[in-house]
Chains A and B, each alone.
Chain A
């Protein structure tokens, strides 16, 4: 009996996110059908799937911003509302208003607002947390810049810094790699690596299968339902990708790297 308990798969306590029988959508059309998965604590997991496969919807359900029709989702074994301060979200860069008159430090400070609660103003401790987060992502020198003056890679690192200032243990990132050049991508992936080393859990919605294959611990292949989950090399087989992408995604091995290529472009 005792041995069995030790061998019990790490679902409830060791899962940063776990979902079962999850249905969700808008109006009457389902965007997620009977979704079941779990994200282990301390892992970097890529959430991949074609456009309209429900990636953003799934992130919203995990965040508690969209109520599921059926099923349950838990974050660190609890309802997200009980652990909201431990969860941070970074939206797609194209949905952020980069002309908004705030500085880099202002946005990172917003990560502190949830913990501060109403009526309290940021104090010395909060400013220290902001400073630490900016240093960790390498933006300390740019703290006074208006956010529109940042490059794409710097913008993403600023959004990650906001999550760090919040002291979040789980980061949900929506398409952080879009529009970044190779060196900016590598900087961001190095940062992910560093965060995993600190025990953080990252769930990253992305179109970039190559990044997931090379740098992430696991992949969740989504097309309204979970097509496959597991280590990237187990998930990114031509057969499973065909199932998710309807044979529009081809695997192209080039010089030892494997690239996921959209068929219509290739």
Chain B
């Protein structure tokens, strides 16, 4: 028993591990609250795009010596709004405008960086994430931005829910649908940036999508999807960190792999929508 306790507590004698876990818990909560909408509206590709495009802002801020986070936030939000604008105005499909804009922004980041000869380890931590490198300032920033995102979603929850469920009905009821759609994308961009430092550009979308998708297999109301998604994210973070610590493997990727494993479990064993349950059932539409 004492062995188990010391095995469990050993990693957390280090302050960087404590900060890593706290950062992951915050990211899990924020990602899951916005992730419920991402999964329901099929916005996963946008989350991925925003994370990649924010690299342009990171690079520009790095070169100018400004805060890398502010660069990422500005680039991320601008990208999200540009995607929405282009697809509304140019009548292009959403994924086409995403494809154009995020690749363009990512390339811009690479070009900016390639002019720079300084040692850029700090910069590349954004691409692959550095959970163990989360500092006190980072933690504070993650917490503040996370609070803003969750707070705004709580305030405008009923409008966001109505718009996501049926935009035409919502518009007919007088809900400012366009504002809600742009706002949701801006919040998605903020969440992506929050997750950026922790899991890195490449894995942001996993935090946004996997826990919420896992939850959506198990529960059938939006607030429960958010709650259970956050729990899935936190469990994945905790287990992933232990694996990373004891097996000495990359932490961000470990967390994501545990989340993916939890999703796979839900996919097979979910009581109503799981593979085991549906194999033995008539499809719901035929009842």
Contact = CB atoms under 8 A, between A and B. Distances in A.
A102 B221 contact: yes
Interface residues of A, number: 32
Interface string A142-171: 000010110000000000001000100000
Given A102-B221, A102-B222, A114 B166 contact: no
Interface stretch (B50-58, B132-140, B154-162, B202-210): B154-162
* A-B pairs, 7 with minimum CB distance: A114-B173, A89-B172, A146-B220, A84-B174, A114-B174, A63-B172, A101-B220
Interface string A57-92: 000000101000000000000000000110111110
A91 B173 contact: no
A121 B158 contact: yes
Contacts of B170: 110, 113
18 contacts: A63-B172, A89-B169, A90-B169, A91-B168, A91-B169, A95-B166, A100-B164, A100-B165, A101-B225, A103-B220, A103-B221, A106-B221, A110-B173, A113-B159, A114-B173, A118-B156, A148-B284, A162-B169
A226 B161 CA distance: 37
Contacts, number: 74
A3 B226 CA distance: 65
B175 interface: yes
B212 to A, nearest CB: 11
Contacts of A121: 158
B216 interface: yes
A91 B166 contact: yes
A97 B165 contact: yes
A124 interface: no
A100 B172 contact: no
B219 interface: yes
A252 interface: no
Given A110-B162, A119-B155, 13 more contacts: A63-B172, A65-B172, A89-B168, A89-B172, A96-B166, A97-B40, A101-B225, A106-B221, A113-B162, A113-B175, A118-B156, A118-B159, A121-B158
Contacts of B175: 113-114
Given A87-B172, A91-B168, A166-B173, A116 B158 contact: yes
A65 B168 contact: yes
B15 interface: no
B147 interface: no
B179 to A, nearest CB: 10
B171 interface: yes
Contacts of B171: 63, 65
Contacts of B156: 118
A140 interface: no
A114 B172 CA distance: 9
A22 to B, nearest CB: 18
A178 interface: no
Contacts of A84: 172-174
A109 B225 CA distance: 19
A89 B166 CA distance: 11
